[in-house]
Amino acid sequence: MTRGNDVWGKAQGLPADYWTRPAVSRIDNYLLGRSDNYVPDRELASKLLHAAPWLPQMVRINGAHRPRTVHTLARDLSISQFIDLGCGLPPRWMGKAKGYDPGAPVYDAARLIHKAPRVVYVDNDPVVGGFARTMLDEHPTTATVDGDIREIDTLLDHPEITGLDRSRRIAVLLHDLLPWMTDAQAHRVMAALREWLPPGSAISLTHATTEWAPSAMQELVDHYAEDGILYRPRSVDEITALLSPWNLLSPGIVPTGQWRGPGAQGEAHWEHSHAYAAVISNGAQESTSPTSTN
Ligand SMILES: C[S@@+](CC[C@H](N)C(=O)[O-])C[C@H]1O[C@@H](n2cnc3c(N)ncnc32)[C@H](O)[C@@H]1O
């Protein structure tokens, strides 16, 4: 039976069941205590929270990692072009902070180092794309692409991506994105990016892991599966295999809350990361330092 929300979704040009099925972007939004989420998101989130009460910290630590990595890549590797794959709903951000801000989106974190960083935000959730266009993509050097990274070759051919300057370094963020796809899809994405990115580029990855709470993670996998969502947290060996063969930059593969950079010391409960973070590069051994001075 078609429900009212389905008709509304269709009228907006969204998939017919858009508002009646949970969405990963909106579940994160709920776990962060924000308001851009709906009954199906909250129903699934309450089951997830029952299995893993630390989920809000896990999501928050992952979000705080974004400006930290971007700032480090912009400063230490002089990168001023970024692609934020699976960017998610925009973080709380009023664009007013003058210095480093743990809630900043990619452009604002990079702008502390480079005057006009180029940033392409990508997500396959059409409402995320709408929010990104309204809240993130307001500068002449930013763009938003509605794209599915499982179709990585098509995505890399998009004019906003081909418009980047491939004679210079580019950084790609894959933060909490690969767990939402199969092994074959995740490896294909990594291979395509490695082939496409110019020398000196970097890929920043955060990835949920089964290492610390395997049974809770399995419960999450099962709850997502009940709603038709594939969730694939991986072991450290599986994450390492995704990162190979590029150079792993210092400090290596570490729990996200223990990564270096501004604010890194602030993660009192890094064990709630339940994810690893790493940056790889196809440059020569890079001049990154294990600890930040900011
Ligand atoms: C868990 S959120 C992470 C958001 C953000 N990267 C962060 O770290 O806070 C995952 C995001 O990836 C998006 N996503 C999932 N699968 C995708 C795909 N195949 N292609 C593009 N985006 C995808 C979801 O819509 C969601 O916004």
Lowest-confidence range among 32-36, 69-73, 236-240, 241-245?
A: 32-36
> Per-residue pLDDT tens for 209-256?
999 999 999 999 999 999 999 999 999 999 999 999 999 999 999 999
Average pLDDT (48-77) is: 95
Q: What is the DSSP string of 188-238?
A: HHHHHHHHHSPTT-EEEEEEEBSSS-HHHHHHHHHHHHHTT-----B-HHH
Q: Which burial class, exposed, middle or buried, applies to 158 when counting CB atoms under 10 A from its CB (0-12, 13-18, 19+)?
A: middle
24 CB within 6 A, ligand 1: yes
151 CB within 6 A, ligand 1: no
Question: 55-60, long-range: CB within 8 Å, 24+ apart, which pairs?
Answer: 55/31, 56/31, 56/32, 57/269, 57/272, 58/208, 58/272, 58/273, 58/274, 58/275, 59/28, 59/31, 59/32, 60/32
C-alpha 146/C-alpha 142 separation (Å) is: 14
- Please check whether residue 259 is in contact with residue 68, taking contact to mean a CB–CB distance below 8 angstroms: yes
Q: What 3-state DSSP class applies to 277?
A: strand
Ligand 1 mean position, distance from CA 187 (Å): 16
Q: Which burial class, exposed, middle or buried, applies to 5 when counting CB atoms under 10 A from its CB (0-12, 13-18, 19+)?
A: middle
Confidence of residue 287 (pLDDT cuts 50, 70, 90): very low
73 CB within 6 A, ligand 1: no
C-alpha 150/C-alpha 4 separation (Å) is: 31
In this structure, the residue with its CA closest to atom 12 of ligand 1 is 86
pLDDT of 193 over the 80 cut: yes
> Per-residue pLDDT tens for 121-178?
999 999 999 888 888 777 889 999 999 999 999 999 999 999 999 999 999 999 999 9
Ligand 1 mean position, distance from CA 122 (Å): 8
DSSP 90: P
91 CB within 6 A, ligand 1: no
Ligand 1: atom nearest CA of 91 is: 9
Domains observed in the chain: 41-281 (3.40.50.150)
Give residue 293's pLDDT. Answer: 27
